[in-house]
Amino acid sequence: MTNNQPGDDPSPETQQNLLNKITVGGSLTVGDINQQLVTQNIATQNIFLIASPDQQEQISRKIHGVPPPSSTASRNAAVIPPLCSPPVISTFEFEVVKVDAKGREVNPCCKQAQHFIDSLGGAVELEMVSIPGGKFTMGAPQEELESREDERPRHLVTVKPFFMGKYPITQAQWRAIASLPKIKHDLDPDPSSFKGDNRPVERVSWYDAEEFCDRLSKETKRVYRLPSEAEWEYACRAQTTTPFHFGATITTELANYCGQDKNTKACFYKGTYRNEPQGIYRQETSEVDIFSANTFGLHDMHGNVWEWCADYYHNNYQEAPSDGSMWLINGNEEGRILRGGSWNSPPHICRSASRFLGNPSSSNKNIGFRVVCSFV
């Protein structure tokens, strides 16, 4: 047991002990040293300096949460940025809205969450919200209206804490990172059909999203990546069990989806979900900050743009991971997961449990993404 306090530097003996544990695959305990202190001191003090180059890479992978190259969960040629200081965490407030079974707003309340902000150059920033770890039941029950068999069997998943983008990646954020040097392939700096700095970027493939994450990681010296499918659903639900994070149904006052028949503009979706009120069909994306957040402080988890996840597509959840990790074995390598629905989707497609198969090379005006970041 050490006598170190938060903010103290570990002794040389403690540093070497920690280095040995980290680089041989051992686990750190509270008796060794507080994990947050380890992260801070490895990033800024002597532990990293006394390591060999191979050990430095191992430390970097562990601190940034990136598996070793041989792991089945590893992304191909993952970019491991140099170690950086922990981000400055602050608290923000926001309003959460719930609806009853007929879509009427009830019990609005104020919530708080933590976040950090990374500068992407000029006035462009990336806001990352702290998602607390926890357990949740992933998937839809049989009785959930218009649910599908690929959303079952329901299963308990334990998710570690992580940070997730407050919004889908915007066009301003995309341009800032697309202007950086190529890592694997070129990026179109202005791919979107519906123009606007604060609208989500769309017409990006899964490979484009991966390239964005790699460039962002190199620029910020943190590891950014696409979420696992379990992380995405956990973040979307935000400790709810209803089809949508705001309740049993959805309205076009709360999300951007197709609330009317696309041809006649009649509300042919009225009553087909949960007696939701007549809505509108905007026929395009909307700015990412105009609808209220869920309880975790995330916006646009339902509708606006489909969001890429890292996982291979599987036909159901048989043998799915229970730890929230990416599911990259025994699946369709030519298919990746899309979540959340879009401005062009009917309400049932926008449910928290709804999932879709996407070709990783495909890009259209319905598809965008958001990023996550882990530190422990």
If asked whether residues 117 and 155 sit together in one domain, one would say: yes
- In this prediction, residues 30-45 reach a mean pLDDT of 36
If asked whether residues 308 and 167 sit together in one domain, one would say: yes
Does 44 fall in a domain?
A: yes
Residues 132 and 296: their CA atoms lie apart, in Å, by 9
pLDDT for the residue numbered 61: 53
If asked whether residues 263 and 358 sit together in one domain, one would say: yes
pLDDT (tens digit per residue) in 228-284: 999 999 999 999 999 999 999 999 999 999 887 666 555 444 445 666 777 889 999
If asked whether residues 40 and 131 sit together in one domain, one would say: no
If asked whether residues 133 and 271 sit together in one domain, one would say: yes
If asked whether residues 98 and 210 sit together in one domain, one would say: yes
Handedness of CA 83, 86, 87, 92 (dihedral sign): positive
If asked whether residues 301 and 244 sit together in one domain, one would say: yes
If asked whether residues 25 and 112 sit together in one domain, one would say: no
Distances (CA, A) of 299 to 73, 92, 130, 169: 28, 14, 13, 11
Radius of gyration of the chain (CA): 21
Beta-sheet pairing, 306-313 with 367-368: parallel
Give, rounded to a whole angstrom, the gap between the first and last alpha carbons of the chain.
21
Residue 11 DSSP code: P
pLDDT (tens digit per residue) in 103-148: 889 988 999 999 999 999 999 999 999 999 999 999 999 999 999 9
pLDDT (tens digit per residue) in 208-228: 999 999 999 999 999 999 999
Long-range (24+ apart) CB contacts under 8 A made by 181-189 are 181/215, 182/211, 182/215, 183/79, 183/211, 183/214, 183/215, 183/218, 184/77, 184/210, 184/211, 184/214, 185/211, 187/211, 187/212, 187/215
Does 74 fall in a domain?
A: no
pLDDT for the residue numbered 35: 37
Boundary of a domain, candidates 64, 82, 99:
64
If asked whether residues 267 and 304 sit together in one domain, one would say: yes
pLDDT for the residue numbered 321: 97
pLDDT for the residue numbered 71: 41
What is the overall mean pLDDT for the chain?
82
Does 6 fall in a domain?
A: no
Look up the domain containing 368 and give its range: 90-373
Does 285 fall in a domain?
A: yes
Angle between helices 53-64 and 12-23 (to 10 degrees): 80
Does 332 fall in a domain?
A: yes
pLDDT for the residue numbered 279: 83
Does 2 fall in a domain?
A: no
pLDDT (tens digit per residue) in 341-360: 999 998 999 999 999 999 99
Q: For residue 76, which of 313, 375, 312, 356 has the smallest C-alpha distance?
A: 312
Residues 141 and 267: their CA atoms lie apart, in Å, by 27
If asked whether residues 51 and 144 sit together in one domain, one would say: no
Number of domains in the chain: 2
CATH of the domain at 216: 3.90.1580.10
**Looking at the chain, how many residues does it have?**
376
Does 95 fall in a domain?
A: yes
334 pLDDT more than 90: no
If asked whether residues 365 and 309 sit together in one domain, one would say: yes
Residues 57 and 35: their CA atoms lie apart, in Å, by 19
The percentage of residues in the chain with a pLDDT greater than 70, rounded to a whole number, is 73
If asked whether residues 155 and 24 sit together in one domain, one would say: no
Q: What tokens does 296 get?
A: 């975790």
Q: For residue 250, which of 209, 228, 280, 227 has the smallest C-alpha distance?
A: 280
Q: What tokens does 111 get?
A: 């919530």
Does 215 fall in a domain?
A: yes
SS3 content of the chain, % helix, strand, coil (to 5): 20, 20, 60
